[in-house]
Amino acid sequence: MNTILVANAGSSSVKFQVFAASGHGGLSREIKGKIDGIGTKPALFANDADGKTLINRSYSNDAIPDVASALHLAGAWLRDELRIEPIAVGHRVVHGGPDYDGPVIVDASVLTRLERYVPLAPLHQPHNLAPIRSILSTRPELPQVACFDTAFHRSHDPFADHYALPERLYAEGVRRYGFHGLSYEYIAQRLAEVAPDIGKGRVIVAHLGSGASMCAMKDGRSVESTMGLTALDGLPMGTRCGQIDPGVLLYLLNEKEMRPSALQHYLYHDCGLKGLSGLSNDMRELESSRDPQAAFAIDYFVYRIALSAGMLTSALGGLDAFVFTAGIGENSALIRSKVAAGLSWLGAVIDKAANGEGRQIISAPESAISLFVIPTDEELMIARHTLALLSAAPSKVKVSA
């Protein structure tokens, strides 16, 4: 059985999935797992396609000291205990910079170029690249494919990509990229399947999770996004500030005498819903809290979503549908209801029963725009890209019969 391993590495966890590849280009999910608690209490969990637990094992900190060793351990478990030897590994890499507008097979030179974008995605890029570097060192013959969260947005018009800065900075790569592209690309493909007419129209997709952004799509292509050069821009997130006046940053640097490294940590880790509420970055905890600041953080989050919807609708020249996805978007009926109310000026009317049940279509019959709830699947998108790239370059991989 030919299999593809998909890795999504974070700061203290590595999510991984194994897909079986058929001879006709099809993919089926076989294993879904995670190593979390890296650096504190590492543990490996994995289920099969039916949800049956395959492993639930704890390790010492010495056994899994970092992200690279976590993926190495997961690979050893797949190989030694399940006899699974992947033909390739697909990785989520947050930032592709101006160099990459699509997935790419990684070698040492590609890795060096991607390391240049660590300052643009300090929360993600170093951890995304760590397992790639490790596998290049220990298994150089194993093809690795980098799939970028920025690539889907490279179809933007120059007006959408530029800041009002001297052109030389744009040439250096200081521009608006947009993120969560793998999620948006998957939603675009799902819409084409479940609602072809809508998929060809003007759609806003709201990827609402710990990281949150919105994308305006026309005919399945990204037109505009709420995120920019980095994943700090746009909507307030779990711990990230979202859109902010650059003057605030100057104030913190000059008047509060914050060092740049401290300011970076502050904006990525201490702001957003966590900063507004003073309680938590977890929407579930905020929804269950009676603290007024929790309610304020929720309403602020919804307010910024509605404002951004107005901007994105303008970029599209109208709106046919609004799609909720990711952890909050897929699971919070409260947030969906509040956002729909904020879109009432566009004629949005939610079906309360459908929303409460989390159905795929949650708009009422009289709604002027369609409202959808579509679960995202970034890992499947990565597997598809990996398989397609290997098929285009068969010399890169040995495929068994």
Q: What is the DSSP string of 222-247?
A: EEEES--SSTTSSS--SS---S--HH
Q: What token pair was written down for 144?
A: 């690795």
Inter-residue contact 18 to 4 (CB < 8 Å): yes
Q: How far is CA 187 from CA 64, 91, 214, 317, 326, in A?
A: 34, 19, 12, 21, 11
Half-sphere exposure of 235 (CA within 13 A, CB side): 33
Q: Is 377 a catalytic residue?
A: no
Q: What token pair was written down for 95?
A: 């930032």
* Residues 380, 9: Cα–Cα separation, whole Å: 15
Sign of the dihedral defined by the CA atoms of residues 108, 113, 119, 124, in that order? negative
Q: Are strands 43-48 and 53-58 parallel, antiparallel or unpaired?
A: antiparallel
Q: Which of 149, 233, 351, 377 is the catalytic position?
A: 149
Catalytic center residues: 149
